[in-house]
């Protein structure tokens, strides 16, 4: 067992984010955390890391080698690359945080154990110095593997190109996986291209490192994790298997609860009907009437389960004459005297949904800007005169951050349509205070939902979407996918979300090597169904369960009752004593 959290709760003022969250992470396990935006997923990660303390509950850590991979967008452009990679080690941050706590305790003084604090502080300093003495060599080895010059370590993040930033992300992951027992990841695939995401998946799967990951990338969760923890209404529910298994099991649970409710509801209606009939002849049925009435009053009142939280929405497509929307014949695009893309050929017709993917910096955004007429082109690029374009930017430039979400929508549909505006926002699960707070206080995911709502009444017949699923929770992705699938206009979308490419698009365009290649079908049709990749945790030994506490002196590691451990043939000797004493049992 690496980490165990029991009955955690956490509040911020009157808002109770976590109410009852329990999870355990064992060696080599990979756990995904899902939930809507604002459900408390990141708060849970911070508690696991020791960055925040729970109000109630218990957190037990059996390792101090816990790494943290935050969203890359959280890093300042002024940050030095060496510092960014060094800060990847969550256990180093914990050491520094504890040293600061000791300084604060000593500064206050009072009835404290001075000797114990001095010894602890000295031990922490030694650990920190030992780490700093070896970090340079580790980074040097990793940079050599990914063909990256070591001299770049002293440059600022803001000076890097998109491709160089991606390599820093790769190094950041490699640094942690090699030296940590547990890697905690917060939206690790945000802003990464598909090639890098798939590299990351393979790297994690082929490592021994346990993983706790918050992600809205359903394809990533399918490939990497073997358990899902859902945070809903402040409580946790565990599902064995990957994301697809979680969806199947959750839907089955909803169906089961609905069947239970139907049985309850039918029974209650029958009892009410009998009681009502008996009430017309109270003398004859007085005893039975009172008994049944008493039993009915004691029946628990149950609410109908929410069988479908995903409210359906519809994009209203404007009318358009003609079949063709966009035709490109041998088009080339240049920027600052340099050819970005050439030989572009497109034939986009009414109802087509085209998904564009490729490496960062390959020219995807340049392509859609040319289609919108924002940059010049060479060759024949024709867009239907009747095209009414709705554009979604991942940076949400069209939003006024001083307005509330409701006010933002009213600007588009009219100030007298408050009920309609509220209903539209509710479609994307924005209700209550989220509607009346200023946009500046909303999360990136919530702003994305408001931007999508603004497209609903644009009367468009051509939607151009730049990374529409970034920051958006899984439930809202399903809502968006359903709406786009039913939209009868044309959709052109840049995305690295492979699940989205499969569910929405009937054509995909790969931008690579200076050109655009269009394929009929979705992403899986193009790439093929990936071969099942055997997780290392499934093949690194025989699974045993600990029946009573013991210490493996070969590994210098303690085990407690309930722990699960995978024992290989090479490690078997260190566990022989525990096995002979009956402290281990094959699971």
Q: If you average pLDDT over residues 455-470, what whole number do you get?
A: 82
CA atoms within 13 A of residue 192's CA, in its CB half-sphere = 24
If we measure between CA atoms, which residue out of 46, 31, 42 comes closest to residue 210?
31
Q: Is the confidence at residue 136, as pLDDT, over 60?
A: yes
pLDDT digit string, tens, across residues 138-172: 677 777 766 677 777 788 888 876 667 767 777 77
Where in the chain are the domains? 1-63+181-241, 83-180, 247-298, 324-525, 541-586
Helix (H) or strand (E) holding 195: helix 194-205
Q: Is the confidence at residue 314, as pLDDT, over 50?
A: yes
Predicted local confidence at residue 321, as pLDDT = 47
Predicted local confidence at residue 306, as pLDDT = 61
Confidence bin at 305 (pLDDT 50/70/90) = low
Confidence bin at 381 (pLDDT 50/70/90) = very high
Predicted local confidence at residue 311, as pLDDT = 38
Predicted local confidence at residue 316, as pLDDT = 58
pLDDT digit string, tens, across residues 561-578: 878 888 877 678 778 888
Q: Is the confidence at residue 359, as pLDDT, over 50?
A: yes
Give the least confident one: 87-101, 106-120, 139-153, 313-327: 313-327
pLDDT digit string, tens, across residues 172-215: 777 777 778 898 988 888 777 888 888 888 888 888 889 999 99
How far the first Cα of the chain sits from its last, in Å, is 15
Q: If you average pLDDT over residues 573-584, what whole number do you get?
A: 84
User: Residues of 498-529 as b/e, b for ≥16 C-beta within 10 angstroms?
Assistant: bbbbbbbbebbbbbeeeebebeeebbebbeee
Q: If you average pLDDT over residues 234-240, what whole number do you get?
A: 92
CA distance 488 to 424: 20
Q: Is the confidence at residue 8, as pLDDT, over 90?
A: yes
Predicted local confidence at residue 210, as pLDDT = 92
CA distance 407 to 415: 8
Comparison of pLDDT for 319 and 425, the residue scoring more = 425
CA distance 131 to 126: 9
Predicted local confidence at residue 196, as pLDDT = 80
For residue 335 the two structure tokens come to: 């920027």
Long-range contacts of 513-518 (CB under 8 A, 24+ apart): 514/339, 514/340, 514/341, 514/342, 514/363, 515/341, 515/342, 515/343, 515/344, 516/341, 516/343, 516/344, 516/345, 516/346, 516/356, 516/363, 516/367, 518/345, 518/346, 518/354
Comparison of pLDDT for 188 and 316, the residue scoring more = 188
Domain made up of 1-63+181-241: CATH architecture: 3-Layer(aba) Sandwich (3.40)
CA distance 368 to 565: 51
Q: Which of 117-121, 139-143, 279-283 has the highest mean pLDDT?
A: 117-121
- Specify whether the CB–CB gap between 408 and 377 falls below 8 A: no
Q: Is the confidence at residue 230, as pLDDT, over 90?
A: yes
Confidence bin at 533 (pLDDT 50/70/90) = low
If we measure between CA atoms, which residue out of 448, 535, 486, 487 comes closest to residue 209?
535
Coil vs helix vs strand at 15: strand
Domain made up of 324-525: CATH architecture: 3-Layer(aba) Sandwich (3.40)
pLDDT digit string, tens, across residues 392-443: 887 777 788 889 989 988 888 888 888 888 888 887 778 888 888 888 888 7
Confidence bin at 54 (pLDDT 50/70/90) = very high
Report DSSP state, residue 234.
Answer: T
CA distance 455 to 449: 10
Bridge partner residues of 232 (DSSP)? 235
Mean pLDDT of the chain: 82
Q: Strand locations in 475-560, DSSP E?
A: 490-494, 507-512, 515-520, 542-546, 550-552, 557-559
Helices (H), 404-538: 405-413, 418-427, 433-436, 444-456, 474-486, 498-504, 523-527
For the full predicted model, state whether its pTM sits above 0.85: no
Q: If you average pLDDT over residues 498-510, what whole number do you get?
A: 92
**CA geometry: angle 4, 186, 133, nearest 5 deg:** 80
CA distance 388 to 325: 10
């Amino acid at each position: 067992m690496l980490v165990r959290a029991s009955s955690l709760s956490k509040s911020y003022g009157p808002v109770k984010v976590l109410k009852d969250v329990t999870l355990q992470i064992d060696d080599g396990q990979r756990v995904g955390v899902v939930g809507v935006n604002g459900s408390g997923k990141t708060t849970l990660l911070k508690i696991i890391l020791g960055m925040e303390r729970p109000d109630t509950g218990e957190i037990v850590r059996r390792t101090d080698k816990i790494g943290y991979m935050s969203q890359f967008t959280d890093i300042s452009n002024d940050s030095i690359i060496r510092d960014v990679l060094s800060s990847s080690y969550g256990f180093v941050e914990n050491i520094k945080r504890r040293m600061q706590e000791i300084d604060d305790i000593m500064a206050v003084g009072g009835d404290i154990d001075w000797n114990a604090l001095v010894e602890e502080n000295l031990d922490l300093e030694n650990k920190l110095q030992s780490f700093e003495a070896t970090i340079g060599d580790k980074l040097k080895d990793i940079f050599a593997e990914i063909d990256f010059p070591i001299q770049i370590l002293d440059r600022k993040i803001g000076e890097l190109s998109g491709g160089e930033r991606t390599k820093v992300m790769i190094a950041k992951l490699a640094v942690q996986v090699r030296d940590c027992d547990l890697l905690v990841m917060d939206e690790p695939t945000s802003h990464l291209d598909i090639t890098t995401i798939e590299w990351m998946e393979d790297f994690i799967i082929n490592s021994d490192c346990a993983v706790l990951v918050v992600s809205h990338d359903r394809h990533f969760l399918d490939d990497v994790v073997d358990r899902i923890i859902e945070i809903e209404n402040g409580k946790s529910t565990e599902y064995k298997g990957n994301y697809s298994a979680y969806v199947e099991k959750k839907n089955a649970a909803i169906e089961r609860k609905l069947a239970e409710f139907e049985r309850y509801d039918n029974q209650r209606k029958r009892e009410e009907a009998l009681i009502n009939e008996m009430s017309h002849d109270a003398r004859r049925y007085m005893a039975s009437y009172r008994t049944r009435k008493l039993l009915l009053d004691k029946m628990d009142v149950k609410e109908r389960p929410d069988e479908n939280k995903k409210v359906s929405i519809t994009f209203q497509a404007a009318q358009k004459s003609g079949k063709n929307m966009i035709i490109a014949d041998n088009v080339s695009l240049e920027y600052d005297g340099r050819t970005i893309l050439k030989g572009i050929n497109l034939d986009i017709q009414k109802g087509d949904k085209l998904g564009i993917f490729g490496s960062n910096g390959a020219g995807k955004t340049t392509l859609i800007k040319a289609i919108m007429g924002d940059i010049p082109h060479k060759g024949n690029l024709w867009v239907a005169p009747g095209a009414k374009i709705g554009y979604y930017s991942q940076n949400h430039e069209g939003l006024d951050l001083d307005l509330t979400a409701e006010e933002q929508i009213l600007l588009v549909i009219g100030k007298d349509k408050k009920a309609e505006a509220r209903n539209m926002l509710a479609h994307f699960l924005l209700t209550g205070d989220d509607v009346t707070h200023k946009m500046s206080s909303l999360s990136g995911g919530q702003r994305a939902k408001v931007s999508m709502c603004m497209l609903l009444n644009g009367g468009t017949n051509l939607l151009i979407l730049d990374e529409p699923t970034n920051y958006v929770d899984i439930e809202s992705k399903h809502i968006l996918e359903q709406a786009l699938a039913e939209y009868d206009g044309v959709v052109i979308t840049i995305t690295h979300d492979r699940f989205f490419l499969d569910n929405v698009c009937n054509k995909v365009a790969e931008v690579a090597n200076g050109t655009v290649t269009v394929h009929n079908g979705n992403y899986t049709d193009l790439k093929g169904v990936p071969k099942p990749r055997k997780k290392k945790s499934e093949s690194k030994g025989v699974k045993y369960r600990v029946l009573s506490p013991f210490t493996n002196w070969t590994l210098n590691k303690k085990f407690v009752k309930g722990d699960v451990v995978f024992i290989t043939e090479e490690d078997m000797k260190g566990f022989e004593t525990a096995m002979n004493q009956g402290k281990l049992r094959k699971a």
